[in-house]
Every structure is written in structure tokens, then in C-alpha cells.
Amino acid sequence: MAVPKPTTMVLRRRTRAPKRYSEDEDGWGCDDVYCVRCGSGDFGSKLLLCDKCDKGYHLFCLRPILVSVPKGYWFCPSCTNIKQPQLFPLVQTKIVDFFRIRRSSESMENQSNIKKRKRTCSLAVSKRKRKLLAYNPTEDPQRRLEQMASLATALKASGTEYSDGLTYRPGMALRSANCAALEKGGMQILPKEDIETLNLCKKMMEKGECPPLMVVFDPVEGFTVQADRYIKDLTIITEYVGDVDYLKNRENDDGDSMMTLLHASNPSKSLVICPDKRSNIARFVNGINNFSPDGRKKQNVKCVRYDVNGECRVLLIANRDIRKGERLYYDYNGYEHEYPTEHFV
């Protein structure tokens, strides 16, 4: 028997999403069922009935919205008594343990020196060669704790363990299956200098020098990410991570935020990233509304798949300068053009 879902989370499936719907495709009447938010019984295939009170809600009328019909039991906001997420304690030892931060003052100092040298080099040649840049952490240690606590709050609320790399679990795809050479049409190779920049970002995160980002809870969009300081164009925001599995195993999965990792010529070898169990801040970066000119203007991050030493990796990269306080958005339909974003704000 399915376990009731305690909260209504924003579902963001990014591969093989359902096609856009129309009023005529439902095939069943809704004369006696209507949405308590908008009062309409239209779009029956997008009308959820609460398993406790039998009241109806359109997926797109819920706040935060739902993109797909969840499997198993579903309970409306009134019956679940949804509240603001519980804040993660702003305690250094708890944050260090949650993110498994390596404690070494000497290594931190050495890494800081490397970081400064790398960033100076990158800035000097970025206009000519368009190299990727390492993110610039906030200098204030207390503010970094607040940034990490905001991410821990979102991860705990969604029942997700922190991870900053792709994970290969028993019963899913093996690491050997992640072969960039299988990509249909070929995959863009990440240059050596950019690989060094990516590795630098990973090392900074290991030391507790997180990206200058805050995760905030919005009543309409759910958890979302905003810049906590100025971020320069072409800065690596983060890597999209989670459990790696075959697409064929997940085609009927309603797990949120799945991302294409490998689009193979042989569909049986295609891979997806599943961040529902293990993930990082990438899971909470929201998508633009592809059907609205204003929505498309909000995009300030691009999602790019790279061949990194023969393996597929997915990076979120700033595609323009991002000012402090600006929320981060990217195009969920950058590859498949199948994700239903027409109701995104």
C-alpha cells in the first residue's frame, strides 16, 4: 500500500514529461467535480481529488504547483496542515556534520591560495576564450553557515540526503554505464582548464566554502534559490547530482526533478539523474515558463551536459551576470522540449 505523502512538494520532472494537454482529451465528465481554488471542472486529467476530504484541486492551482499527478494517496493542503519548513539549526557542528565538511585549517589556507591564483587566471582570459569561472564564496564565515543551513533546511524538508556527486546504487546503473561516447550525436567535451575549475569548486565545497546562494521557501514556487552576492557570467553554479539510473527503469516514475544524463543512440542505455534520495542545491533551482516572453527573460542559468574524462556530467552555469538577491532560473526544456512549464510563474 502506498504511504501517504506528508507534504505537497513541487515536482520538476525534466525528462520524458507528459505532453501538453487540452480540454477535449480527458474523456470523462467533471460536472460534479470542480477545483476549490478556481471553481472550474475543466482539465479533468489535471484535477486531483483529496483522499481524505474528496475536494478537488487542479495541479496548476495548487501552491506550490504540481506538475504531474502523484502516485498513491494524495492529501490537499487543508488536510495536511502544511506549515513553513522547520529551519535547520544554525549550529556550526551540526552543519559540518550534515555536509561532511573536512576540517583542516592548513588545507583551507592552501586551497584559498590556489583559488585566488585560479580565479585571477580565469578572469584574465575569460573574454577571449570564454573559460568557465569558479564561484566566489562569501568571505563572512557566519553568512556561509546561514547559506548552508538554508540548503540543509530544504534537503531535510524533502527527505533528501546531501551529496555533491553522482551516486551509483545497487540495482541501478553501474558507473561503467556512464559512457559519454554513447551520446547520440556526440557530447561536448569539457576542456582541461574547465575541468580544473570544476574540481576547484568541488574542493571548496568540501572545505565548507559553498556557492554564494540562499535557498528560500516561496508559497507559490516552493523552495527556490537566490544569489547571495554578485555572480559573474560563466560562473559554475553547481553540478546536477543524484542517483544514476537507466531511463527505462524510470519512465513511469513520478519522482521529482529527474534530469537527463545520457541520451544514447540505443534507448536502453540512456541514463537519468534521480535526486529524490541524494542531491545538492541544484534540485531547488527553478525553471522558466517557456510559454511566456517574461518567463524566458528570467533565465540566468544554463544547463549543459559535458563529457568529463569520458563520463557524462551535468553543470548549471550562469549565462549572464546575476545580481545579489536575484532568483536563479534555467530552461527545463533545454534538450527534450517536453516539460510542461506553462503554469510556472
Sorted by sequence, the CB contacts under 8 Å of residue 80 that are 6+ apart come out as: 6, 7, 8
Q: What per-residue confidence (pLDDT) applies to 163?
A: 97
- Assigned fold of 33-82: Herpes Virus-1 (3.30.40)
| CATH of 92-97+131-159+185-240+281-330 among 3.40.50.300, 3.60.140.10, 2.60.15.10, 2.170.270.10 | 2.170.270.10
pLDDT digits (tens, 9 = 90+) for 141-185: 999 999 999 999 999 998 999 999 999 999 999 999 999 999 999
Per-residue pLDDT at 53 exceeds 50: yes
Taking 70 as the threshold, does the pLDDT of residue 35 lie above it?
yes
Taking alpha carbons only, the member of 57, 268, 234 closest to residue 132 is 234
pTM, two decimals, is 0.77
* Integer angstrom CA distances of residue 218 from 78, 87, 232, 280: 18, 14, 25, 19
Range(s) of the chain covered by CATH 2.170.270.10: 92-97+131-159+185-240+281-330
Q: Helices 192-206 and 105-129: crossing angle, nearest 10°?
A: 150
Percent of the chain with pLDDT over 70: 78
**pLDDT digit string (tens) for 301-311?**
999 999 999 99
Tell me if 264 sits within 8 A of 183, measured CB to CB.
yes
Q: 123: how many CB neighbours lie within 10 A of its CB?
A: 12
For the chain, residues classed under CATH 3.30.40.10 are: 33-82
Q: pLDDT of 192-225, one tens digit each?
A: 999 999 999 999 999 999 999 999 998 777 899 9
Poorest-pLDDT segment among 110-119, 133-142, 245-254: 110-119
